[in-house]
Structure 1
């Protein structure tokens, strides 16, 4: 929603902006190692409070950025701070719910979390128009502080058991080992492209596509992106219910959702060349949001593969792939945009979804 003014004020190109914003998921992925250890060693509440404080600092750094290097610092700190936004509640659910209920509640958690995307559509467009993009970062800092207050008042958990016999290095090695283990290999492979597509389509290139290719102003473009946002809110809850109802075929559901999301991206890009109207984009963005939301099945597959006491480490291993893939593919999309425009950037995510899904189908793993 602010790509054009960010490029102007920071003095970067479109692919440079993609590289800068790619630092967020890269830092997020790297933070998964210590976050996974902290969740199992110290518990959800202290980990969440520490990370929310870091996120608030990162948002302030983003608001104060005067050039690409200071923005890079802000993105890295934000990535570290935000690394627990999904992992903390999901790990809390994994430790306190039986496996047969985890898929449903994992979907509910992600659906509730995605409601925040409502703020980054039309409301963010209006904020940028009237107060500038820096105001968006200040708003994020205030939200992080509010979330920290809520966690401190609401979350209750038993004190995490001490693990004196294990060193920090051993815990970190276990996360790395889990990330390549036979049990988790399949969901980790498909996760590499899954969240990258959400960040790429909804977060980075959806706005420029609607504004530069379809000729919409900022606020109307934000209104169109609301369709995708609502789908990303409803979709995870529906995905959690489908996972619970059709557990024997949940791998097939996951694969079908990702292949369908890739098809929606490619159809939208093709529609730009064919002159399809904005209504077609709204429909395809909605379909993309609903189909890619079946990614919540990844969490259920990982949870089914490990005992509760290893849930934090296992989920962190998968989240490393979620956000590591986002960092890699976001950088690749920036390079594609510099050569073939926004359509080429979007196509990078479609191709990645197809490739990772086909590999996922050939790998053994939890069912």
Structure 2
């Protein structure tokens, strides 16, 4: 079969499959294009096993995208499972609990009893190998957990931040309950807040909801406050990925956030290699955790809100260290007295 004919055939199949899914709710701004891109990677028409990771920075809408895809696709499968909060459950209850949950959701008429992860993995492979099943694992931060539940991933889908038009639409829906700015004196204020959010859906929703039903003077006050102090809810969500890093990787992230965002990668490697940070592996980890990117000019880049979070964390650490030094000085003076 000629390459062009094959591409056309595959495109037609993908379009037919997408047509069979329900329409997405209007409030989920920008999700339709993301779903199309995700379904193209999943390739639902194939009979083999497909394991796709949705990876990006916190707040970009990974869970929302996964839930919508799961809802739309589930009718095409014999069994389905959506274990949520994999990271927390695996830490609190262990992987065996997650394996049993997965099996119980798909094979609801059966009861499973096993006492180690390896045995659970064997049962999952044996019982599900001949079934057409859909499994979505939410909030996985450990590839070993993924391997023990479903296997190694084949591909990765990385959703992007919203474009300017979609960002404004989402923010307006949260702030005004409609897609257009109702009053002219809010237009410039909206542009300012949307620019601050940088296309991140979480930030747009949090800030839009916060500013809803407030007058223009309150908006100006809120914007001035944002310039001095970050929104706590946004920063806490972004910090989850940072907290999962090893200490050395945290230091690399903070250095880049505070001093090297936008700098050429080779230059940063040269400057920081003297600190024994093992930059090659450290930067690779940050990229895989979606905390850092390398653009086509070989520059290290991170989202403005991630950079802001890094600066706040470093400031907090410096203040804590200063307090510790002060406390030690007081204790020493008390001893001398």
Higher strand share: 2
Q: Which has the higher contact order (CA 8 A, sep 6+)?
A: 1
Of the two, which has the highest radius of gyration? 2
TM-score norm. by structure 1 comes to 0.24
TM-score norm. by structure 2 comes to 0.25
